Amino acid sequence: RLKHEDYNILTSLIITLFPKENSLTYYTPPTKKSCSSNGRHIRAKGKLVDKAKNLLYISGEAKRKINSVPETLPFLYISGEAKRKINSVPETLPFYKIDCDDDIRNAIDWLKVRREPWNDVMIKWKLTYNYRNKDKSSTVDQFIKNWPILEDARAESLVDRYHKRKSVTKFI
């Protein structure tokens, strides 16, 4: 957490870089109850305070979510029917078909732009298996352009899961 002195230092640095800016825009120190006009404590305000508060909230929320979300919890935007189908499908079932095309399309679009939370990536990757299997990209580069999630450092687990499932379907 930043202290009031830290906010003052950051504000003065901003003002030296941008002399026409008002320092109160970036940081207004808190006011004690005895010094305020309405007899109430006034919290610190400003863009820096808001930014720090938002960053702390986001990082805390991410920690809470990581600690509280079980591995099998699906992404919230998948409909209830698709959630039940995804959770009931074992990894070894070869040609499982989900008839919720909108959910598959949403999962494909989501995978093209999102990388977090990773549990949701794994669920959507599993959901799009049949669609990816039908992808007739001419080159590996083209396939990776179609599936940008494969550029993520953790994509090895997705590829392993894909090949594991693919090898099981060969023998069935």
Instruction: Render pLDDT for 32-80 as a digit per residue (tens, 0 to 9).
Output: 888 888 888 989 999 999 988 888 777 775 566 555 544 444 444 444 5
Domain containing 37: what range?
4-68
End residue of a domain, out of 19, 34, 68: 68
- Residues 122, 102 share a domain: yes
**Digit-coded pLDDT (tens) for 132-163:** 777 777 787 787 887 788 887 777 877 776 55
- Residues 144, 88 share a domain: yes
- Residues 138, 101 share a domain: yes
SS3 of the chain = CCCHHHHHHHHHHHHHHCCCCCHHHHCECCECCCCCCCCCCECCECHHHHHHHHHHHHHHHHHHHHHHCCCCCCCCCCCHHHHHHHHHCCCCCCCCCCCCHHHHHHHHHHHHHCCCCHHHHHHHHHHCHHHHHCCCCCCHHHHHHHCHHHHCCCHHHHHHHHHHHHHHHHCC
- Residues 33, 59 share a domain: yes
